[in-house]
A and B are shown apart, each in its own frame.
Chain A
């Protein structure tokens, strides 16, 4: 296929390397260095998509980050990316892309009917129309809107690419490598500062790549190349292209997204696709340049209407013509550069200038070259549906109110220039209260809030000589502050053409009887009439107008539309723009991929998996695992075809009958040392601790200051001033922070040290009537009789040469011991227990059997200590000391806490002794009462009691103390169950606790 719109002798692309690609299934080719946009335009393709609301044909409008239309679905290396800007996507071999927001195809789009129905789609249409009937919203309206609107489609495959994060510190971060960025980076680097220079495009140089200027006897482009080469060679400088600084956050932290492999068919080995940089900069130089503003006229969204600066960039960088018969429509001098460039390449443009008689060097040059210029002329409307075919133009009166006779002018593109808008996003994100500069009709940064300085056209300075002078100064001054050095560089001589004032006129009035749509926001289809309607309906604040009309929203964030929208609001409201103000700029400046934000924290890296030292043994023995916080714990050990229910019942029964062993490594462990350790425990726990003898353990519950139970566990006095505290698996980290808080902030006079030892000890609970027999064989050196090692006793011994701590504590309610050894010996301990336990019919048991055992014993755990219950609720009143003070004690006097009908943990048994009660069920008096049925309590934990062979649950019940024996209903609307139940004591098995002491 020939490239009808490619010129031979101009551009920075590599013509030796052809690249083939596909767009909407059709094959084309371009060259290395092309973007998808430039390659498509070279091939004469201008129709790339459909607009968001009216599905009008969409072409190209810009040449870079400012592009509102040309958003495509990209396919690369068997993956797909939605919403990629064709103007930023570099061409690679085999690239495939398709249009978005059109169905069945970009050429024939059914949604385009919206365009003809557009009087039914005004501003706020969704708010007004889809309000009723209410039930229609999620059944009819929402699915329809979601299908018809929106852009690309996200991939549902697992992303195979790698994304990375990097933290970096520097003295100066410079955002943009145009003339101002290069100058300030160079001056700062020469003065010894650590500099990062970031450029979002592949090529450095910004406007110098396309402007006809001379710096120090070289072309602007040559000067930029020289500076970049020098900077790259300096050890104190990092230079990055394809890197967009998109967010300016607190304390001078900026985030930059670097596209490392997006321009290649496939990511290089060991190289991430994208990298997110968190940069903490001492000073930031914002040199982000400016974006050309559109002029507003009828059908100004037709494919072929482009920014004049973009037309120039396509020509000078890519050697591509946006049209062979261009019409240039401007209110200022910069469009003349585009006109001259066309003319130099053998194309005859026509220039319409809204000004009556402007005079400047560049206009003189255009005249000298014989370019046809019509002053006091405007474009009324573009004609043509899928591409500009002609334009309606007319003379306009001096006061810009009256239009002359409409003339028709043939053209195949309209290059518009409505002057320049400084890119102030980063400064505004930083907190800079911007100010309106009347001379350029735009906002510029004002007083910086953080260490930021804006230079060049981002600061509203469009003159190169002044820009360079100022930027060298800024680079030197800021670096001197940091490095205390004073190495200066001399400012080179600049030759550029002088320009004159632009015209403040930007919106062409509609001639009588014409109803052309004049668009302000091209991405969101916001037209002049939409803003006018919003104002008529009473929206005043620019923030409200934005949300009601969607002006300046979506991926584009109003890069081209913002100021024209503000101008219009101020015209209608008879205000001046600074009074209207602008909407808040929020990061990110350009869309950032979710992959880059997530970085390496995917899959197993998003949440570390903690495994006990016995994990491999569990795996080999058919354990089925369950997540317990960040830990993986065996839920049950499956034998042949057993279900969870069958296996856990077998394991729990074996504990009650023989002996079982459970991996309890995951319990939180805190080592406490110091002369005041006992005093700390006495203040932290609700019960008394001062008299606990060495070699004894004690159960304790700790409260928050508001009286709610925070955690429970046992603590053992190992030595006079040395304790071993256990916490629940889930609260381990919080309890440590809690202790540290009181020791460091509240009671610094206590001489105590705390440290987590959770990972230092492996733990096994040996439980069941035969557990003593197993223990005695494990530790033949010591006597473990009930007298020598009583309930809550502690002893140390050695397990076949390995040091072990033995605690006689029980969670299962049976005679039980917990053995701890250093983690490295965990597996050895476990295998020994299994080996020796064999003759006593030992079986390992998982968390499901563990739950069963504790539930039927009425031992409270996380589902009862749920952050809403106090000790009394959990039948722990016996553990609340009356004599001493402790954390949270004063709160226990609260009226609600001492109410006679206070909630309490109770046991629940179904009347039929068969139906299991779903956890979370509500307890109610009358199963058929009118909704909302008054709730008396809820089921906190359920099990199948192996002791009585029927279901048993724990519940937290209003006035639970007085409800024993009552008949209630357990309702679970989710499981559609209503179960008649009886309330019983929570201590269902062994209520006197004789077994643990046996």
Chain B
């Protein structure tokens, strides 16, 4: 079970959190023209990386805040956790 540092609450066990997918994906702005392929890659295309990955987690049984986790998908090592507004 992973040990994750919520940027708001501190170290907690994985069972308090829900995984929320790739954090590097940016939603296209509202009311902006997007090509089919741009929209397609936003909705569907995800890399299944081995190694460092920036992902979203939701502290669903805690403070209910979403945040970013930089994690190695092969070793599960967590390098850093950040608020959604922060960048690596």
Indicate whether A251 sits within 8 Å of B34 (C-beta atoms), given known contacts A740-B66, A891-B43.
no
Contact A251 B66 (CB under 8 A): no
Q: Which residues of A contact B75 (CB under 8 A)?
A: 431, 449
Contact B20 A253 (CB under 8 A): no
Indicate whether A705 sits within 8 Å of B58 (C-beta atoms), given known contacts A744-B84, A748-B85.
no
Q: Which residues of A contact B1 (CB under 8 A)?
A: 249-251, 253, 278
Q: Which of B57-80 contact A (CB under 8 A)?
A: 58, 60, 64-66, 75-76, 78
Give which listed residue, A253, A745, A884, contacts B56 with CB less than 8 A.
A745
Indicate whether A251 sits within 8 Å of B58 (C-beta atoms), given known contacts A744-B65, A744-B66.
no
Q: Which residues of B contact A890 (CB under 8 A)?
A: 28, 34, 39
Contact A746 B27 (CB under 8 A): yes
- Does chain A have a CB within 8 A of B31? yes
Q: Which residues of A contact B66 (CB under 8 A)?
A: 740-741, 744-745
Give which listed residue, B30, B44, B65, contacts A683 with CB less than 8 A.
B30
- Does chain B have a CB within 8 A of A53? no
- Does chain A have a CB within 8 A of B2? yes
Docked pose: A884 CA to B27 CA in angstroms: 17
In angstroms, how far is the closest chain A Cβ from the Cβ of B80?
A: 15
Chain B interface, DSSP helix/strand/loop, else mixed: loop
**Closest A-chain residue to B64, C-beta based?**
A740
Q: Which residues of B contact A601 (CB under 8 A)?
A: none
Docked pose: A740 CA to B58 CA in angstroms: 9
Contact B84 A280 (CB under 8 A): no
Docked pose: A449 CA to B18 CA in angstroms: 26
Contact A251 B60 (CB under 8 A): no
Docked pose: A152 CA to B49 CA in angstroms: 44
**Closest B-chain residue to A743, C-beta based?**
B66
- Does chain B have a CB within 8 A of A407? no
**Closest A-chain residue to B78, C-beta based?**
A251
Q: Which of B24-63 contact A (CB under 8 A)?
A: 27-28, 30-31, 34, 39, 42-44, 56, 58, 60
Contact B64 A251 (CB under 8 A): no
Give which listed residue, B13, B60, B76, contacts A737 with CB less than 8 A.
B60
Contact B76 A251 (CB under 8 A): yes
Docked pose: A683 CA to B27 CA in angstroms: 13
- Does chain B have a CB within 8 A of A885? yes
Docked pose: A251 CA to B11 CA in angstroms: 11
- Does chain B have a CB within 8 A of A706? yes
Q: Which of A184-233 contact B (CB under 8 A)?
A: none
Docked pose: A280 CA to B39 CA in angstroms: 43
Q: Which residues of B contact A280 (CB under 8 A)?
A: 3, 13
Contact B43 A741 (CB under 8 A): no
**Closest B-chain residue to A737, C-beta based?**
B58
Docked pose: A167 CA to B28 CA in angstroms: 43
Contact A250 B30 (CB under 8 A): no
Q: Which residues of A contact B65 (CB under 8 A)?
A: 740, 744
Q: Which residues of A contact B76 (CB under 8 A)?
A: 250-251
Contact A885 B30 (CB under 8 A): yes
**Closest B-chain residue to A683, C-beta based?**
B30
Which of B64, B75, B85 has the largest count of A CB atoms less than 10 A from its CB? B64
Q: Which of A720-751 contact B (CB under 8 A)?
A: 737, 740-741, 744-746, 748
Indicate whether A705 sits within 8 Å of B30 (C-beta atoms), given known contacts A251-B2, A280-B3, A744-B65.
no
In angstroms, how far is the closest chain B Cβ from the Cβ of A707?
A: 9
Indicate whether A705 sits within 8 Å of B85 (C-beta atoms), given known contacts A250-B1, A253-B1, A737-B18.
no
Q: Which of A690-733 contact B (CB under 8 A)?
A: 705-706
Q: Which of A748-763 contact B (CB under 8 A)?
A: 748
Docked pose: A259 CA to B30 CA in angstroms: 59
Q: Which residues of B contact A251 (CB under 8 A)?
A: 1-3, 76, 78
Docked pose: A748 CA to B43 CA in angstroms: 20
Contact B84 A745 (CB under 8 A): yes
Indicate whether A706 sits within 8 Å of B43 (C-beta atoms), given known contacts A740-B64, A890-B34.
yes
**Closest B-chain residue to A756, C-beta based?**
B64
Give the contact-size bracket for chain A: 20 to 34
Q: Which residues of B contact A167 (CB under 8 A)?
A: 13
Docked pose: A518 CA to B33 CA in angstroms: 74
Q: Which residues of B contact A431 (CB under 8 A)?
A: 75
Indicate whether A748 sits within 8 Å of B60 (C-beta atoms), given known contacts A431-B75, A740-B66, A885-B30.
no
Which of A431, A748, A890, A891 has the largest count of B CB atoms less than 10 A from its CB? A890
Docked pose: A683 CA to B30 CA in angstroms: 9
Docked pose: A250 CA to B77 CA in angstroms: 9
Contact A741 B20 (CB under 8 A): yes
Docked pose: A422 CA to B10 CA in angstroms: 38
In angstroms, how far is the closest chain A Cβ from the Cβ of B69?
A: 12
Q: Which residues of B contact A748 (CB under 8 A)?
A: 84-85
Q: Which residues of A contact B30 (CB under 8 A)?
A: 683, 885
In angstroms, how far is the closest chain B Cβ from the Cβ of A744?
A: 5
What does the 1/0 interface line of A134-175 toward B look like (CB < 8 Å)? 000000000000000000000000000000000100000000
Contact B42 A705 (CB under 8 A): yes
Give which listed residue, A252, A744, A746, A885, contacts B31 with CB less than 8 A.
A885
Q: Which residues of A contact B39 (CB under 8 A)?
A: 890-891
In angstroms, how far is the closest chain B Cβ from the Cβ of A676?
A: 13
Contact B34 A253 (CB under 8 A): no
Docked pose: A251 CA to B5 CA in angstroms: 12
Contact A250 B42 (CB under 8 A): no
Docked pose: A642 CA to B34 CA in angstroms: 59
**Closest B-chain residue to A704, C-beta based?**
B43
Q: Which of A295-330 contact B (CB under 8 A)?
A: none
Docked pose: A267 CA to B66 CA in angstroms: 45
Docked pose: A431 CA to B75 CA in angstroms: 9
**Closest A-chain residue to B42, C-beta based?**
A705
Q: Which residues of B contact A737 (CB under 8 A)?
A: 18, 58, 60
Q: Which residues of B contact A250 (CB under 8 A)?
A: 1-3, 76
Q: Which residues of B contact A745 (CB under 8 A)?
A: 56, 66, 84
In angstroms, how far is the closest chain B Cβ from the Cβ of A588?
A: 15
**Closest A-chain residue to B85, C-beta based?**
A748
In angstroms, how far is the closest chain A Cβ from the Cβ of B76?
A: 5
**Closest A-chain residue to B58, C-beta based?**
A737
Docked pose: A748 CA to B58 CA in angstroms: 15
Which of A449, A745, A891 has the largest count of B CB atoms less than 10 A from its CB? A745
**Closest B-chain residue to A891, C-beta based?**
B43
Q: Which residues of A contact B78 (CB under 8 A)?
A: 251
Q: Which residues of B contact A884 (CB under 8 A)?
A: 31
What does the 1/0 interface line of A826-854 toward B look like (CB < 8 Å)? 00000000000000000000000000000
Q: Which residues of B contact A252 (CB under 8 A)?
A: 3
Q: Which residues of B contact A740 (CB under 8 A)?
A: 58, 64-66
Give which listed residue, B3, B43, B60, B64, contacts A705 with CB less than 8 A.
B43
In angstroms, how far is the closest chain A Cβ from the Cβ of B28?
A: 8
**Closest A-chain residue to B30, C-beta based?**
A885
Docked pose: A249 CA to B75 CA in angstroms: 11
Q: Which residues of B contact A706 (CB under 8 A)?
A: 43-44
Docked pose: A938 CA to B62 CA in angstroms: 41
In angstroms, how far is the closest chain A Cβ from the Cβ of B78?
A: 8
**Closest A-chain residue to B29, C-beta based?**
A885
Q: Which residues of B contact A253 (CB under 8 A)?
A: 1, 3, 13
Q: Which of A244-282 contact B (CB under 8 A)?
A: 249-253, 278, 280
In angstroms, how far is the closest chain A Cβ from the Cβ of B64?
A: 6
Q: Which of A437-452 contact B (CB under 8 A)?
A: 449
A-B pairs with beta carbons under 8 Å apart, 14 shown: A250-B3, A251-B76, A252-B3, A431-B75, A683-B30, A705-B42, A706-B44, A740-B58, A741-B58, A744-B66, A748-B85, A885-B31, A890-B28, A891-B43
**Which residues from chain B sit less than 8 Å from chain A, CB to CB?**
1-3, 13, 18, 20, 27-28, 30-31, 34, 39, 42-44, 56, 58, 60, 64-66, 75-76, 78, 84-85
A-B pairs, top 6 by smallest CB distance, nearest first, are A251-B3, A885-B30, A744-B66, A250-B76, A885-B31, A745-B84
- Excluding A705-B42, A741-B20, 18 further A-B contacts by CB distance (< 8 Å) are A250-B1, A250-B3, A251-B78, A253-B1, A280-B3, A280-B13, A705-B43, A737-B58, A740-B58, A740-B64, A740-B65, A744-B65, A745-B56, A746-B27, A748-B85, A884-B31, A890-B34, A891-B39
